[in-house]
């Protein structure tokens, strides 16, 4: 019997499905074959080249890159006397395919075929070579495709690729026309590939009675979860494959499996190179009873040599209209490098919207190695919401017993398994069925535990006499959601004994704070409504007991509709309609009414959908205010910003024809030429800039390089701008000549502009566009065409697809991605309008104008960035490039400058910067934001005071002169003096900064924040702070981590990002409560500023409510910062926990710590500078000094920063209620330790300080 390869695929009419891959529309040479068994039906299988052009007859070429040499050789052969040699000389984004379509006659169908071919490679780098077989219809379009293995790379000797396949007359409802043989080399490849002896033979008739494999597939919500049924390409039926960077190899494995006869195997495609991709399936027709519920997902996984970012399970959601429902659900599967079959089971809550489908995905994320998956099941899971015990309180006589009966809500909950525990087996015991048996006189409680949903209910038990203590019954207490139920217990012992009180049984849905006096406060859990109860035991001095059960009815608040401000985008003279996105917390239907109508078009609402028709020929902004109202009369107002983008013809007419026009015109460069001769600042900056740019002249061009494997080095684009600027100022062609070398290299030799990480594409495109524009008169037509083609093919065509399909998050992103991408694409388009691609360019401009509407509101209303200072710097640079380019390139006023928040955003870097660096919360660093942005804002907004920050920046050691310093410098506006205010607050992240003054190098600076956990680039850092004095940052923020760590961008409520030390609360100067492997602050959570006094001469303070961040453990936590005399810092934390726990106060520092005063104080040392850190009014608390690393009970992922040289001061308080007070005072080495500690006051009285 003839041996076949491991990849033996049968194509069966009954079960074939399509692979997710791109169909290539290739020009085709067709060969009609009327098949005889065992006859090779490929024409010219010897690759004869009678025309001596290097290309064999009867074969066609798909190779647009022009980066190859084709020849027919006889010195390197296997079975046939000649081979086809493809020598790929340079990397190109295009594949190289030599193909032939064999047309099959009627008599050639319903046959079995065998195929084989020999391949050999030499120094094949960057990609792979293999053979692909397509079954095609009469239009030569793919019906199905089979990729043969192995896929060759590097240097490999002759390797035979072979398979057998069944060719029916019809496949997937289409008539089969033929078989296309493709000799295939992937994109971005260099090296040689030899092809020899392609052979396609009929080997017998097709037995149409053959059907699917006898092993039944595992079908739950996902189909074929056992991976038994296989498509012709080796991918399991019902599953698709998406390939990103490095490709992805997905196949079924009949040798390694958990159950059945196959599993699915995922691995990197090219040895030694990480792959990223997805195995996915779309779940449709979700049963009604499953909507808004949960799913249980189970799978068995095995690995071999698996390393990298890892494997994740993702569920993406779409509603019945096909719109995305955010957020997706992400679970990082804890798959180790070499792991035997292991079961992973997860319960995931579905969104509260009605779903049209769920996209189920296994993400193989920038990894190498093999992963096998088997027995994937997705099933309905109904969570237990509550359990009611009957009886709810038990009183027993000696030796008496009672049974506990349980009612589950809902009654059809999936998991009703519980266990029973007694708090004191000397008093009472309980068996596994809930039978309670008295043992001795006393009190105890029985706890019922349902582990899956972590539900616990406590049942109080009293054994013995109950008549000694008389207790006044408390009627049911009625409160609203989030209110506190308070009361006092009235009881007495008939013996006249003193009474004590103990909380015996905790409420299931709240927390009780019981005082020694018998006063109590009940706090319902967040979002809870319904009936709750708790039981208090009252004891006299003779150990007599009484029980009092208190019932609390928490009445549901009917919440107002959730209706956010919205953005409407359309084009000139184009009507737009869409559903208004609003929902009621209780699921009630909503009605809408227009409060303030539009002025430049007609806006109507019908059945929850708006329609807007702009006035004829109008473009620009329009606005509307809409109220959403529920059936209870609750209303929410939302404002709609409407932007009507100019028509394509209008854009063509509005873009100026002359060059330069991007960010500057000829008059601007003429002005700068004069300034560098007459103005001292300009002359000095130009001199420094020239030195910097002259160094580029003799440097080699910047190569295509991704140092971290993801992000492209974009230095070339910066060099281009610098060189082009110097050419404009000097007229010296040496700068233009060198700029051209960089432009040519980026345009021709770069295989792409890293569109897998689109920020790189945008930044590169922006620099190339400015170079093209500023060098326009220098460049010849051929050079212009080279640059324009690169802009079009490596940037704008990619961008247009994202815009029109809205398939990249930047299009509607509200943060830095939006600014960077829209700027890079729009400046590129503005540069080439008037050239050969004007139609494409105007489309890009029109789309960018609409897309940037999502980014512009991010600084509203106060000018702050929720992403933090470094990302403000990054995003705002590109925003300013965009705004400047629009102003300089397009006739008329620039409408975007008036966006909310723009007016104030230039103040943000001023107030976020201290003498020892920036307040670098989130993924940010200490580097001062660039200064030239404030020159542009000062000029554009006519606010000379903003130039002060530029003066300040230029005085710093790390300042860097840039072309934009000269481009936007106006001596008449360069008059900014120090800001009038010393303190500033920002609401969106509840940030406050305070300082001693603006001028002294040793000035004190304080920054602290509450804000939002889960914000873009954010950390779990509610309550954190930085503190500078004497020029030293004593209390520091560790800043960002390695962006390529596994799960770093997983910011969900249980995201892997929050496992990294620098991203969680224990890595910040805030509180940690009961350290464990769980999240140490909630996500999402918001901490508001609840009180503040700022800009007082003698200091000021701010108080944050941190409660929501610690809602798992705390009833109430407030933190105050008092900036005493604008130099010293007093901090006070007030906490009330749900039960006694450990509260840890933390402060990270690079200074050398010395514990003194028996641990009551620490002296931090840096050179001759000192900081005295003192605990006030705490008799039992002391400081400890520990390394900046996770606590013993915390999770500690590998690969994260070790924080060498950083120490952490901690204070541990163990109680249910308390406060921590820390005072910090700077002094010099030759000075006495400060003695005059401030008076400590409750936070409620802090107004008395000022």
Q: Long-range pairs for 516-521 at CB < 8 Å and ≥24 separation?
A: 517/488, 518/488, 518/489, 518/490, 518/491, 519/486, 519/487, 519/488, 519/489, 520/486, 520/487, 520/488, 520/489, 520/550, 521/484, 521/485, 521/486
The answer to whether 1098 touches 1248, Cβ cutoff 8 Å, is no
Same domain, 550 and 603: no
Same domain, 686 and 827: yes
> Domain for residue 22, yes or no?
no
CA distance 769 to 758: 16
> Domain for residue 1226, yes or no?
yes
Same domain, 439 and 480: no
Q: Is 1216 left (phi over 0), alpha (psi -120 to 50) or beta?
A: alpha
> Domain for residue 409, yes or no?
yes
Question: Which of 460, 451, 394 lies closest to 419, judged by CA?
Answer: 451
Q: From the first residue on, what is the mean pLDDT of each consecutive set of 10 residues in the chain (1250 residues)?
A: 31 28 38 63 94 92 84 94 93 88 91 93 90 90 83 90 88 86 90 95 71 49 93 89 85 93 93 91 90 95 94 94 87 94 96 93 94 96 94 92 95 94 96 95 95 94 88 96 95 93 95 95 93 96 93 94 96 96 90 97 97 97 97 95 97 97 97 97 97 96 91 96 98 98 98 95 98 98 98 97 93 94 98 97 98 94 94 96 97 91 94 96 95 97 96 91 98 95 95 96 97 95 98 97 90 89 98 96 97 97 98 96 98 96 98 97 98 91 97 93 97 96 97 95 97
Same domain, 484 and 453: no
Model confidence pLDDT, tens digit, residues 148-182? 878 888 899 999 998 888 898 888 678 899 999 99
Cα of 1011 vs its chain's centroid, Å: 18
CA distance 751 to 769: 18
The answer to whether 818 touches 758, Cβ cutoff 8 Å, is no
> Domain for residue 1239, yes or no?
no
The answer to whether 1114 touches 1133, Cβ cutoff 8 Å, is no
End-of-domain residue from the set 329, 355, 381? 381
Same domain, 724 and 608: no
The answer to whether 477 touches 487, Cβ cutoff 8 Å, is yes
CA distance 811 to 818: 6
What's the CATH number where 621 sits? 2.60.40.10
∠ CA(1043), CA(1045), CA(1046), 5° rounding?
130
Alpha-carbon distance values, 790 to 64, 502, 784 (Å): 15, 77, 10
CA distance 611 to 604: 5
Question: Which of 96, 162, 169, 106 lies closest to 126, judged by CA?
Answer: 96
> Domain for residue 515, yes or no?
yes
Same domain, 948 and 1087: no
What's the CATH number where 46 sits? 2.60.120.260
> Domain for residue 229, yes or no?
no
End-of-domain residue from the set 381, 407, 436? 381
Same domain, 368 and 328: yes
Strands 1032-1035 and 1025-1029: antiparallel
Paired tokens of 67: 């980066």
Same domain, 804 and 875: yes
What's the CATH number where 442 sits? 2.60.40.1080
> Domain for residue 210, yes or no?
no
What's the CATH number where 1017 sits? 2.70.98.70
Give me the numbers of helices (H) and strands (E) for the chain, helices first please.
15, 64
CA distance 339 to 301: 8
∠ CA(237), CA(243), CA(249), 5° rounding?
65
How many residues does this entry show for the chain?
1250
Give the side-chain half-sphere CA count within 13 A for 464.
Answer: 16
The answer to whether 430 touches 438, Cβ cutoff 8 Å, is no
The answer to whether 365 touches 316, Cβ cutoff 8 Å, is no
Cα of 341 vs its chain's centroid, Å: 30
> Domain for residue 153, yes or no?
yes
Same domain, 637 and 697: no
Q: Is 768 in a helix, a strand, or coil?
A: helix
CA distance 470 to 462: 15
Q: b vs e for 630-656, b when ≥16 Cβ sit within 10 Å of the residue's Cβ?
A: beeebbbebebbbbbbbbbebbbebbe
End-of-domain residue from the set 953, 973, 993? 973
∠ CA(902), CA(904), CA(910), 5° rounding?
125
Model confidence pLDDT, tens digit, residues 887-942? 999 999 999 998 888 999 999 999 999 999 999 999 999 999 999 999 999 999 99
> What's the pLDDT at 957?
84
Same domain, 932 and 948: yes
Beta pairing partners, 1152: 1165
Supply the pTM of this predicted model. Answer: 0.75
Same domain, 819 and 964: yes
CA distance 1239 to 155: 78
CA torsion sign for 766, 769, 773, 774 is: positive
DSSP string, 636-659: EEEEEEEEEEPPHHHHHHHB--SS
Same domain, 739 and 821: yes
CA torsion sign for 670, 671, 677, 683 is: negative
The answer to whether 70 touches 85, Cβ cutoff 8 Å, is yes
> What's the pLDDT at 231?
86
Q: Name the DSSP letter for residue 562.
A: B
Alpha-carbon distance values, 760 to 273, 741, 753, 817, 848 (Å): 21, 20, 7, 11, 17
> What's the pLDDT at 920?
97
- The total number of structural domains in the chain stands at 7
- Note down the domain range covering 1179: 984-1234
What's the CATH number where 789 sits? 1.50.10.100
CB 661: neighbour CB atoms within 10 A? 22
CB 497: neighbour CB atoms within 10 A? 16
């Amino acid at each position: 019997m003839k041996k076949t390869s491991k990849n033996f695929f049968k194509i069966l009419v009954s079960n074939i499905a399509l692979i997710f891959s791109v169909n290539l529309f290739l020009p085709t040479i067709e060969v009609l074959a009327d098949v005889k068994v065992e006859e090779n039906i490929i024409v010219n299988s010897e690759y004869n080249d009678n025309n001596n052009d290097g290309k064999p007859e009867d074969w066609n070429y798909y190779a647009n890159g022009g980066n190859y040499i084709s020849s027919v050789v006889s010195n390197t052969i296997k079975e046939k006397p000649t081979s086809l040699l493809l020598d790929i000389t340079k990397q190109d984004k295009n594949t190289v395919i030599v193909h032939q379509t064999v047309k099959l006659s009627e008599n050639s169908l319903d046959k079995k075929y065998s195929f084989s071919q020999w391949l050999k490679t030499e120094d094949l780098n960057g990609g792979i070579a293999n053979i692909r077989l397509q079954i095609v219809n009469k239009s030569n379009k793919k019906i199905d495709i089979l990729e043969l293995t192995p896929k060759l790379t590097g240097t490999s000797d002759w390797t035979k690729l072979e398979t057998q396949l069944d060719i029916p007359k019809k496949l997937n409802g289409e008539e089969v026309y033929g078989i296309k043989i493709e000799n295939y080399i992937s994109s971005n490849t260099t090296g040689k590939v030899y092809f020899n002896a392609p052979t396609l033979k009929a080997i017998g008739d097709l037995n149409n009675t053959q059907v699917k494999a006898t092993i039944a597939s595992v079908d739950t919500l996902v189909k074929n979860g056992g991976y038994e049924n296989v498509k012709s390409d080796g991918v399991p039926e019902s599953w698709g494959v998406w390939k990103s960077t490095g490709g992805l190899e997905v196949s079924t494995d009949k040798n390694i499996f958990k159950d059945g006869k196959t599993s699915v195997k995922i691995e990197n495609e090219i040895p030694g190179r990480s792959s990223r991709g997805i195995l996915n399936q779309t779940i449709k027709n979700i049963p009604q009873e499953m909507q808004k519920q949960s799913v249980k997902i189970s799978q068995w996984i095995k690995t071999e040599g698996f390393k990298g970012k890892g494997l994740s399970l993702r569920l993406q959601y779409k509603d019945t209209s096909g719109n995305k429902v955010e957020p997706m659900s992400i679970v990082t599967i804890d798959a180790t490098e070499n792991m035997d079959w292991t079961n992973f089971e997860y319960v995931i809550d579905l969104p509260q919207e009605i779903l049209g489908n769920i996209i189920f995905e296994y993400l193989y994320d920038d990894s190498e190695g093999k992963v096998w998956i088997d027995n994937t099941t997705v099933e309905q899971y109904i969570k237990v919401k509550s359990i009611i015990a009957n009886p709810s309180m038990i009183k027993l006589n000696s030796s008496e017993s009672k049974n506990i009966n349980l009612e589950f809500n809902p009654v059809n909950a999936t998991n009703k398994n519980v266990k029973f525990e007694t708090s004191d087996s000397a008093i009472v015991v309980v068996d596994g069925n809930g039978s309670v048996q008295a043992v001795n006189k006393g009190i105890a409680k029985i706890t019922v535990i349902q582990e899956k949903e972590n539900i616990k209910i406590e049942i109080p038990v009293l054994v013995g006499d109950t008549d000694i203590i008389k207790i006044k019954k408390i009627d049911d207490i009625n409160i609203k959601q989030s209110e506190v139920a308070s009361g006092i217990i009235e009881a007495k012992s008939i013996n006249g004994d003193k009474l004590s009180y103990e909380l015996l049984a905790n409420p299931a849905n709240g927390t009780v704070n019981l005082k020694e006096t018998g006063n109590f406060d009940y706090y319902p859990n967040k979002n809870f409504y319904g009936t709750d109860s708790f039981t208090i035991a009252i004891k006299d001095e003779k150990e007599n007991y009484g029980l009092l059960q208190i019932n609390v009815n928490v009445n549901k608040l009917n919440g107002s509709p959730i209706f956010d401000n919205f953005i409407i985008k359309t084009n000139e003279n184009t009507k737009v309609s869409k559903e208004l996105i609003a929902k009621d917390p209780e699921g009630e239907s909503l009605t809408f009414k227009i409060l303030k109508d539009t002025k430049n078009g007609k806006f109507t609402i019908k059945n929850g959908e708006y329609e807007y028709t702009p006035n004829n020929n109008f473009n620009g902004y329009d606005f509307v205010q809409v109220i959403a109202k529920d059936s209870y009369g609750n209303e929410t107002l939302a404002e709609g910003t409407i932007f009507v983008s100019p028509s394509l013809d209008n854009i063509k007419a509005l873009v100026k024809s002359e060059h330069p026009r991007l960010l500057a015109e000829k008059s601007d460069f003429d002005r700068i030429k004069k300034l560098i001769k007459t103005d001292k600042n300009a002359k000095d900056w130009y001199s420094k800039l020239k030195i910097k740019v002259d160094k580029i002249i003799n440097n080699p061009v910047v190569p295509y390089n991704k140092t971290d494997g993801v992000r492209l080095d974009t230095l070339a684009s910066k060099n281009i701008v610098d060189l082009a600027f110097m050419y404009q100022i000097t007229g010296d062609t040496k700068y233009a000549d060198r700029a051209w070398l960089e432009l040519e290299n980026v345009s021709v030799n770069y295989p792409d502009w890293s569109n897998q990480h689109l920020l790189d594409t945008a930044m590169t495109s922006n620099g190339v566009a400015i170079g093209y524009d500023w060098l326009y008169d220098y460049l010849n037509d051929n050079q212009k065409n080279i640059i324009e083609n690169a802009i079009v093919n490596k940037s704008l065509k990619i961008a247009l697809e994202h815009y029109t399909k809205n398939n990249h998050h930047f299009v509607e992103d509200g943060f830095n991605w939006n600014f960077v991408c829209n700027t890079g694409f729009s400046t590129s388009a503005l540069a080439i309008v008037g050239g050969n691609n004007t139609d494409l360019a105007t489309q890009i401009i029109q789309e960018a104008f609409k897309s940037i509407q999502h980014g512009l509101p991010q600084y509203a209303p106060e000018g702050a960035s929720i992403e933090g200072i470094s990302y403000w710097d990054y995003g705002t640079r590109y925003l300013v490039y965009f705004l400047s380019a629009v102003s300089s390139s397009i006739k008329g006023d620039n409408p975007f400058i008036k966006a909310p928040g723009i007016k104030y955003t230039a103040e943000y870097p001023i107030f976020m910067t201290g003498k020892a660096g920036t307040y670098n919360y989130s993924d940010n660093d200490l580097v001062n934001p660039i200064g030239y942005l404030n020159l542009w804002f000062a000029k554009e907004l006519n606010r000379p005071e903003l130039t002060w920050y530029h003066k300040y920046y230029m005085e710093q050691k790390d300042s860097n002169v840039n072309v934009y310093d000269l481009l936007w410098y106006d001596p008449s506006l360069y008059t900014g003096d120090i800001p009038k205010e010393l303190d500033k607050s920002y609401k969106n992240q509840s940030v406050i900064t305070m300082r001693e003054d603006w001028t002294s190098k040793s000035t004190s600076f304080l920054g602290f924040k509450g804000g939002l956990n889960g914000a873009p680039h954010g950390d779990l850092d509610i309550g954190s702070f930085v503190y500078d004095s004497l020029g030293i940052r004593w209390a520091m923020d560790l800043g960002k981590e390695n962006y390529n760590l596994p799960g770093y961008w997983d910011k969900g409520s249980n995201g892997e990002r929050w496992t990294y030390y620098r991203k969680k609360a224990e890595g910040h100067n805030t509180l940690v409560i009961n350290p464990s492997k769980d999240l140490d602050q909630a996500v999402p959570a918001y901490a508001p500023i609840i009180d503040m006094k700022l800009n007082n001469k003698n200091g000021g303070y701010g108080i944050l409510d941190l409660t929501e961040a610690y809602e798992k453990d705390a009833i109430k936590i407030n933190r105050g910062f008092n900036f005493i005399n604008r130099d010293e810092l007093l901090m006070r934390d007030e906490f009330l926990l749900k039960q006694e726990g450990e509260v840890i106060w933390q402060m990270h520092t690079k200074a050398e710590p010395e514990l003194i005063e028996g641990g009551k104080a620490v002296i931090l040392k840096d050179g001759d500078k000192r900081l005295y850190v003192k605990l006030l009014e705490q008799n039992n608390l002391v400081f400890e000094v520990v390394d900046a690393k996770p606590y013993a009970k915390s999770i500690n992922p590998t690969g994260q920063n070790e924080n060498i040289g950083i120490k952490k001061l901690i204070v541990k308080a163990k109680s249910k209620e308390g406060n921590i007070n820390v005072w910090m005072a700077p002094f010099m080495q030759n000075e006495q330790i400060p003695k005059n500690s401030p008076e400590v006051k409750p936070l409620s009285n802090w107004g008395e300080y000022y």
